[in-house]
């Protein structure tokens, strides 16, 4: 068994970034040595200290919505062609700012990011240390957003939606592709494929939730629907609670009997 989890709005509370309500399950998973793979929009710089606090030190993780996969303490992998380095990504976005009104994390200060997210300025600095994806605030019309999507597509880029922001990254990357890559890697190492339970609350989690064996859709705040394409509804559970409370509710649903 392997648990794959989103952070913001899932294991972590959308507003406070705390996980108290999930602490019992975290301890239980640890006790049974069930790996917990973080699969988040957050950066490597954000996830490393969080992983320590959560007691998950040597687990592999997926950062920046799948643009980065980290296997262990000293090994970062990028899925071939999935990552676009941050510098060239920002250069493309600066060119597009002539036609569309939006701002990226590279335009903001740590303090501004802190005001928008509720992270501390120090945590915001870590959120701004991006390797292969940019976080943006859209300031133009809905109609222009569709044109923006097409313009990104022409540049080999794609748009996805997290709890608060839009995220731009290379086309073909995303949480689903990154997880498939990681599971393949682990299967080669371990000789068998683990059963997977995935938990997430946002539209950016859909490709991950579609690809796991059992999916927990956590009640969230995104104004965009989290609509899975899979048809095996018995393997999908929608929680009544938000954040870490919903996270525990989902694991109760799939694992309580075992």
Among 5, 51, 114, 117, binds ligand 2M8 (CB under 6 A): 117
Residue 19 in contact with ligand 2M8, rule: CB under 6 A? no
Q: How far apart are CA 22 and CA 208, in angstroms?
A: 21
Among 26, 29, 37, 119, binds ligand 2M8 (CB under 6 A): 119
Minimum Å gap between C-beta 38 and ligand 2M8 is 12
Number of residues located near Mg ion, criterion CB under 5 A: 6
Residue 110 in contact with ligand 2M8, rule: CB under 6 A? no
Minimum Å gap between C-beta 103 and ligand 2M8 is 13
Q: Note the Cα 151 to chain centre separation in Å.
A: 24
Closest CB to ligand 2M8 belongs to which residue? 162
Q: How far apart are CA 89 and CA 6, in angstroms?
A: 24
Residue 163 in contact with Mg ion, rule: CB under 5 A? yes
Residue 117 binds what, of Mg ion, ligand 2M8, none (CB under 5 to 8 Å, by partner type)?
Answer: ligand 2M8
Computed over its alpha carbons, how large is the radius of gyration of the chain? 18
| Window contacting Mg ion (CB under 5 A); options: 8-16, 63-71, 82-90, 135-143 | 8-16
Residue 8 near residue 17, CB atoms below 8 Å: yes
| DSSP secondary structure of 50-99 | HHHHHT-TT--EEEGGGTEEEEETTEEE--TTT---HHHHHHHHHHHTTT
């Amino acid at each position: 068994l392997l648990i794959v989890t989103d952070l913001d709005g899932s294991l972590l509370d959308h507003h406070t970034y705390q996980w108290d309500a999930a602490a019992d399950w975290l301890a239980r998973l640890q006790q049974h040595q069930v790996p917990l793979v973080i699969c988040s929009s957050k950066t490597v710089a954000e996830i490393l200290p969080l992983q320590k606090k959560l007691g998950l030190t040597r687990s592999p993780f997926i950062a920046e919505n799948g643009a980065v996969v980290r296997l262990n303490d000293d090994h970062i992998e990028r899925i071939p062609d999935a990552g676009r380095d941050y510098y060239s990504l920002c250069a493309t976005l600066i060119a597009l700012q002539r036609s569309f009104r939006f701002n990226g994390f590279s335009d903001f200060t740590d303090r501004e990011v802190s005001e928008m997210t509720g992270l501390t300025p120090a945590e915001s600095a870590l959120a701004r240390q991006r390797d292969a994806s940019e976080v943006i605030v859209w300031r133009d019309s809905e109609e222009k957003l569709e044109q923006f999507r097409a313009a990104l597509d022409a540049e080999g880029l794609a748009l996805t939606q997290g709890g608060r922001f839009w995220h731009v990254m290379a086309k073909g990357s995303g949480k689903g592709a990154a997880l498939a890559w990681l599971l393949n890697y682990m299967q080669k190492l371990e000789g068998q494929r683990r059963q997977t339970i995935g938990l997430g609350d946002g539209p950016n989690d859909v490709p991950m939730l579609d690809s796991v064996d059992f999916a927990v859709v956590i009640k969230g705040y995104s104004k965009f629907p989290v609509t899975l394409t899979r048809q095996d509804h018995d393997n999908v559970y929608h929680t009544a609670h938000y954040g870490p409370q919903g996270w525990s509710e989902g694991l109760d649903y799939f694992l309580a009997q075992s």
